[in-house]
Amino acid sequence: MAGRHLCSRRYREFSDLHSTLKREFGDYDFPKLPGKWPFVLSDQQLDSRRRGLELYLEKNYSTATATCISLKRWLFSPVLEERILEADEKAETYFFWNAVDEVNRGHIDVGNELYHLKALQDVSKKKEYLQGVRNLPGYGEIVFPHCPCDARKEGHVIPVVGCSGFRLKATSSTGEPEGKDIQFSWNDILEYEVDEEGMSFAFLYERGASKPPRWVKILSPYYTFLFECFQRIQEESRWQAELTGEPILMLTKPNPSPTPVADDQNGVSPTPSSFGSREERNGNSCVGKTALAQIVSSETPTEFSRMYNMTLGADIVSRVLPVEDTEDHVQLFLYSCSGKDFYQPLIEQVLKPLAMVAVVFDVTSEDSLAAVPQWVNRTKALLPEQANKGIIGVLIGNKVDLADERTVSAKKAAEVADGLGLRYFECSVKEKLGILEPFEYLAAEWHKMYLNKTDQFRALNAPV
């Protein structure tokens, strides 16, 4: 048909598009999508839903012809910018007009240079204009809209990403500046991550030798773009190091700590061939607990993911494992719990009562091994009855693939495990080595406990 294109789309595609748009544009008031009906629809119902979809599309996309695409610079490093300008005159023109726009918006602090820059706002003087504006505060930065942040009890912050560091500008809840800025050097930011469901971005920064690192969470609908900006800074740091030998930041500053895992006896199947068990993994980042859960819960080989998302509250995955020398199976429910202190009350309620524990540490970090007793003691607080009898569980040393960086020997880790009454295992989540062995051990031990309690129950009910 001339001038028109016809295509066919399923309702699920519209639903997925609607969900994606709501995540990306959280501040836009989307009209309601026609509801999904789980049963077969009549012709009348189909026609009604079709009209509803047409109305939805008209409200959302009828103004598409009146919109335009705005191109913004995606470069932070002045060093890399100069190299690009040397090779491409069109890029120089683009950067010039972009800088003019940033000055007019007030994103660049021109100070007493305003009149001088106004005189240079001509494309024939673009080189002089860029030289004058490049060293001013705010040049090359990306300024986000104001949003809530857990570092402030009242008011909002404006996140600002630039080559020199990351800033949070204090504002009122309506976005009025309060004249207070917090500057974070890139070398002081240890980790950063996103939470898709909570639509937030979080980073861990170093506060000095006398204070522990602290997490800061930013509740912004642009959390994905914040994450990408941090990723871009790392990429440009590598590029700049290759060109000049001076990176923007130190690329790796891990803050490893152990991850306990616990198991309880809830959800037992009434049939002896299938058993259910809850497992909890708790602790801070960098020991590999999230990747471990992803691979353990997968029935097929899974690629190691380099993308890390912060666990907020508790995520749940499961895996059914056979019990050796039997025809029985145990289903493990892994509760991946955040190590943040403000989630501990929720985690304690979710995990009671528990019966087993596993602790994960990083073999390249002696600090993570030293913190293992702390996590075992925290778990004992949730297991008052079992604590006096000893905890059945495992200690897992992860990242054995990093042999050149290893600082904790297997012998030393085994001694720590023995002292805590745990069985020691080693694995590499990245290389998928030794992943299932500790969990198969836990499944077997839980199976023994189940059979023992079953025998005890039968003995109590046996006729005299």
**Chain segment 229-260, per-residue pLDDT in tens:** 998 888 888 888 777 766 665 433 333 333 44
Residue ranges and CATH numbers for the domains of the chain are 78-133 (no CATH), 142-244 (2.30.29.30), 259-457 (3.40.50.300)
For the cut 90, the answer to whether the pLDDT of residue 410 exceeds it is: yes
Q: Which residue has the higher pLDDT, 407 or 48?
A: 407
- What's the rounded mean pLDDT across residues 310-317? 52
Helices 410-420 and 372-382, packing angle to 10 deg: 20
Helix, strand, coil percentages in the chain from 3-state DSSP, rounded to 5: 40, 20, 40
The confidence band for 261, taking pLDDT boundaries of 50, 70 and 90, is very low
For the cut 50, the answer to whether the pLDDT of residue 139 exceeds it is: yes
| Per-residue model confidence (pLDDT) at position 343 | 47
How far apart CA 168 and CA 149 sit, in angstroms, is 9
The confidence band for 351, taking pLDDT boundaries of 50, 70 and 90, is low
Q: Which residue has the higher pLDDT, 95 or 382?
A: 95
| Per-residue model confidence (pLDDT) at position 26 | 67
| Per-residue model confidence (pLDDT) at position 260 | 40
For the cut 50, the answer to whether the pLDDT of residue 433 exceeds it is: yes
Burial of 229 (0-12, 13-18, 19+ CB in 10 A): buried
Residue 224 corresponds to which tokens in the numbers above? 């994905």
| Per-residue model confidence (pLDDT) at position 7 | 66
Task: For the chain, give the percent of residues with pLDDT over 90.
Answer: 12
- What's the rounded mean pLDDT across residues 3-10? 63
- What's the rounded mean pLDDT across residues 280-306? 55
| Per-residue model confidence (pLDDT) at position 274 | 44
Residue 331 corresponds to which tokens in the numbers above? 């289903």
Phi then psi for 273, rounded to 5 degrees? -90, -5
Q: Which long-range contacts (CB under 8 A, 24 or more apart) does 19-26 make?
A: 21/60, 23/196, 23/199, 24/221, 24/224, 25/221, 26/199, 26/221
Helices 43-61 and 11-24, packing angle to 10 deg: 30
**Chain segment 57-99, per-residue pLDDT in tens:** 776 665 444 445 556 677 888 888 888 888 778 888 888 888 8
For the cut 80, the answer to whether the pLDDT of residue 200 exceeds it is: yes
Helix (H, G, I), strand (E, B) or coil at 457: helix
User: Where would I find the H helices in 106-222?
Assistant: 114-119, 126-133
Q: List, in order, residues 6 or more apart from 168 with CB less than 8 Å away.
A: 149, 151, 157, 158, 159, 160, 181, 182, 184, 216, 218
Residue 307 corresponds to which tokens in the numbers above? 């993308």
DSSP state of 149: B
Burial of 455 (0-12, 13-18, 19+ CB in 10 A): exposed
Work out whether the CA dihedral 416, 417, 418, 419 comes out positive or negative: positive
From 45-59, 176-190, 307-321, the region with the lowest mean pLDDT: 307-321
Through-space distance between the first and last CA atoms of the chain, rounded to whole angstroms: 88
| Per-residue model confidence (pLDDT) at position 122 | 84
Mean predicted lDDT score pLDDT of the chain: 75
Phi then psi for 396, rounded to 5 degrees? -115, 120
| Per-residue model confidence (pLDDT) at position 248 | 61
| Per-residue model confidence (pLDDT) at position 294 | 65
| Residue in the structure block whose two tokens are 């001076």 | 246
3-state secondary structure 96-123: HHHHHHHHHHCCCCCHHHHHHHHHCCCH
- What's the rounded mean pLDDT across residues 162-181? 89
How far apart CA 75 and CA 67 sit, in angstroms, is 25
pTM score of the predicted model: 0.43
